[in-house]
Chain A
Amino acid sequence: MNNLPGMEYLTTRKDEFVGWARKFSLFPYPFVTACCGMEFMSVSSTLYDTDRFGAALPRFSPRQADLLMVVGTISHKQAPIIKKVYDQMCDPKWVIAFGACATSGGFYRNYSAVQGVDKIIPVDIYIPGCPPRPEMVIDAIIKLQEKIAKSKHPIVTENF
């Protein structure tokens, strides 16, 4: 029995096991409003390829997504839309603010721009840059994966 390949066992904590599973199955919902979208396309396609981190398949329905990527400037007129998208996403859900505008409003300080999307929805990871380099986005995804792996998962109960 011990000599057969693939029949070994390993021990882990349930929490870590769930985190490990979740961190490699991120389904991003790209909320693309501005020029950062070009950078998003670049990072999600062949050359940089977020598929390597399990975050490849964009779901264009918030109900199927668990990672909201806010890519670009959010204006006050758009704020109700992004709030609705966020509310429609099922738990567990995470948010990445992609680029300077989504992080802090960027260089827009006027009547129209929301000064950072964290004013209306909670944000897990911020990516600075105008636009960010693809390497920074990959770094952000890795950081988010670490965060997911380390966090407590509410589905892990006594009966799990």
Chain B
Amino acid sequence: MDFELFKAIKKELINEVTESRLTHGILELKMSAENFFGVVSKLKTSFDFNLLLDLTAIDYLKQKEERFDVIYHLYSTLHLVRVRLKISLSEENAKITTLTTLYGSANFMERECHEMYGIDFVGNDDLRPILLYNGFEGYPLRKDYPIEKEQPLVPYIK
């Protein structure tokens, strides 16, 4: 684990990051949606985090003030360390800047996150569904989606 690097990251991002901790060898940083894109740009250019490993979201329905957490995992193939970014978003304003301008792999993950959680990635023009189909209403991985609700494409016999 590269504690020196983690220290340097914290020092560099002291104004943007609201909360940081070290967990399971991963540096976890929390920030607001406004500062998010600047933080990722800095991590990519100054600290060589050149790989976007994962992008997902969590729905904290009624458990937290801000309903969604969007979670990014970045990896540096130079320093061999990971960093996790958490951004809280409210239900009314579930919007975040796209990362497709920095990481090409973000496109598919943003599309999946959009169809499953309904999070809007501003700047990504290609948010077509991957696993779902056209005409599917609602976002199935949100906690308030009824668990038995189906939207069949083929009419049932009988």
Contact = CB atoms under 8 A, between A and B. Distances in A.
Interface string A119-143: 1111000000000000000000000
Interface of B: 131-133, 140, 145, 147-154, 156-157
B157 A110 contact: no
A111 B154 contact: no
Contacts of B150: 76, 111, 114-115
28 contacts: A76-B133, A76-B152, A77-B131, A77-B133, A77-B153, A79-B152, A79-B153, A79-B154, A80-B153, A83-B154, A109-B147, A109-B148, A110-B140, A110-B147, A110-B148, A111-B145, A112-B131, A112-B140, A114-B150, A114-B152, A118-B157, A119-B156, A119-B157, A120-B154, A120-B156, A120-B157, A121-B157, A122-B157
Most buried by A among B147, B152, B153, B156: B153
Interface residues of A, number: 16
Nearest to B155: A120
Contacts of A83: 154
Given A76-B150, A111-B149, A119-B157, 5 more contacts: A76-B133, A79-B152, A79-B153, A109-B148, A111-B140
A78 to B, nearest CB: 9
Nearest to A84: B154
A119 B132 CA distance: 20
A76 B151 contact: yes
Nearest to B129: A77
A114 B151 CA distance: 10
A70 B152 CA distance: 18
